[in-house]
């Protein structure tokens, strides 16, 4: 990107918000729901809610795939750790409660549970520690599932298995569509996978 | 986990690339999901590039914003 692609333009933002205020003037409450962690971060970081008129509500929808991991799937990961298998996972799934405990609790009980930033880290661990069995707890929406898929297709180490807990955005969007929401925005990065 | 962050490809070797997130510290990223070359900006999520950022597309988006603002007198 060069200086030409300037999205941080206060003048443009001001013109857009004036236009929105004008268009929303005589409308009842308008609810816009987004379902993306990056959208919520951007909206909060740049104070977008404060720019909008009071009759436009921006709602953070269920954009977090970690938050909707069923307790039963956490139980499966915990059981694997209790059987002596090394469980690798993203950091944000560590505290999700299972029916008896979270992976963090299992780690405190000497389960070998390792937080990774990326599946590539789990692969490197499995390649280095050939005498151990590894599992990658694969959570995430369509943004993340391609990276799991590409590694499964590329012959991962024999001592690495996948506990798949990926989720799809469209069914969640369908549920939201049945609720009284005026509009919703799709997850931006999920859309990059969808369009690919 | 939720965030995807733009980074510039500095060097590339097969499916791996060294990228700059703007901090001048290079990090290794897997680029097997995209068709990217050195100098491209990619969106990185959990260690994988998931999209090549297209400058033309970004400029088109800006042009559309300006067009929306200029119509409807």
Q: Does pLDDT of A149 surpass 90?
A: yes
- Cα gap B6→A190, rounded to integer Å: 15
**Measuring CA to CA, which residue among A90, A7, A161 is closest to residue B48?**
A90
Min CA distance, A131 vs chain B (Å)?
Answer: 26
Backbone angles phi, psi at A157, to 5 degrees: -55, 145
**Among B43, B39, B45, B46, which residue's Cα sits nearest to residue B12?**
B39
Query: Which ipTM was obtained for this model?
Result: 0.74
Kindly tell me if the per-residue pLDDT of A193 is higher than 70: no
pLDDT confidence bin for A34, thresholds 50/70/90: confident
> Which DSSP state fits A85?
P
Domains of chain B, CATH where assigned: 5-70 (2.30.30.140)
Does residue A147 have a pLDDT over 90? yes
What pLDDT, on the 0 to 100 scale, is given for residue B73? 42
| Whole-number pLDDT of residue A186 | 60
Mutate to test the interface with A, among B1, B39, B49 (most CBs of A within 10 A): B1
Q: ∠ CA(B61), CA(B63), CA(B67), 5° rounding? A: 115
Place of tokens 């029916």: A99
pLDDT for the residue B69: 73
Q: Which residues in chain B come in under a pLDDT of 70?
A: 1-3, 71-73
The rounded distance, in Å, linking the Cα atoms of A84 and A74 is: 16
**Is residue A146 pLDDT above 80, yes or no?**
yes
Mutation target among A143, A149, A150, A167 for the B interface, most CBs of B within 10 A: A143
pTM score: 0.74
Nearest-10 Cα torsion for A73, A37, A161, A72? 0
Domains of chain A: 10-64+170-195 (3.40.50.11750), 71-166 (3.40.50.11740)
For B7, phi then psi, to 5°, come to -150, 150
The answer to whether A165 touches A73, Cβ cutoff 8 Å, is yes
Q: Give the per-residue pLDDT at B30.
A: 96
Residues contacting B68, CB < 8 A, separation 6+: A19
Which residue did the predictor score with more confidence, A90 or B65?
A90
For chain A, say whether B65 makes contact (Cβ under 8 Å).
yes
Distance from the A192 Cα atom to the nearest Cα atom in chain B, whole angstroms: 7
- CA–CA separation, A86 vs A113, rounded Å? 6
B21 inside 8 A of chain A by CB: no
Shortest CA gap B6–chain A (Å): 10
DSSP letter at A91?
G
CA-based nearest residue to A170, from A147, A194, A140: A194
- Residue A58 CA to residue A18 CA, distance in Å, equals 17
Quickly list DSSP for B12-56. Answer: EETTEEEEE-SSS-EEEEE-TTS---TT-EEEEETTEEEEEEPHH
Q: How far is it, in rounded angstroms, from Cα A94 to Cα A90?
A: 7
Closest chain A residue to B57 measured between Cα atoms? A5
Q: What residues in B contact A95, CB-CB < 8 Å? A: none
């Amino acid at each position: 990107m060069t200086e030409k692609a300037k999205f941080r333009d206060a003048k443009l933002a001001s013109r857009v918000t004036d236009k929105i205020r004008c268009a929303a003037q005589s409308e009842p409450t308008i609810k816009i729901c987004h379902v993306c962690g990056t959208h919520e971060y951007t909206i909060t970081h740049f104070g977008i809610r404060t720019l909008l008129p009071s009759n436009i509500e921006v709602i953070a929808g269920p954009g977090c795939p970690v938050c909707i991991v069923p307790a039963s799937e956490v139980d499966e990961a915990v059981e694997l750790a209790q059987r002596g298998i090394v469980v690798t996972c993203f950091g944000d799934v560590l505290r999700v409660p299972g029916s008896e405990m979270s992976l963090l609790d299992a780690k405190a009980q000497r389960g070998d549970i390792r937080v990774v930033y990326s599946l590539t880290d789990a692969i490197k661990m499995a390649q280095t520690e050939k005498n151990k069995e590894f599992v990658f707890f694969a959570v995430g929406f369509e943004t993340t599932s391609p990276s799991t898929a590409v590694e499964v297709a590329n012959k991962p180490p024999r001592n690495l298995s996948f506990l798949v807990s990926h989720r799809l955005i469209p069914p969640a969007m369908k549920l939201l569509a049945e609720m009284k929401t005026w509009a919703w925005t799709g997850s931006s990065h999920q859309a990059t996978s969808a369009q690919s | 986990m939720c965030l995807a962050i733009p980074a510039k490809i500095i060097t590339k070797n097969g499916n791996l690339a060294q990228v700059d997130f703007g901090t001048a510290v290079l990090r290794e990223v897997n680029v097997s999901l995209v068709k990217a070359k050195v100098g491209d900006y990619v969106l990185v999520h959990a260690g994988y590039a998931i999209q090549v950022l297209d400058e033309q597309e970004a400029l088109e988006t800006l042009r559309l914003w300006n067009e929306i603002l200029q119509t409807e007198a």
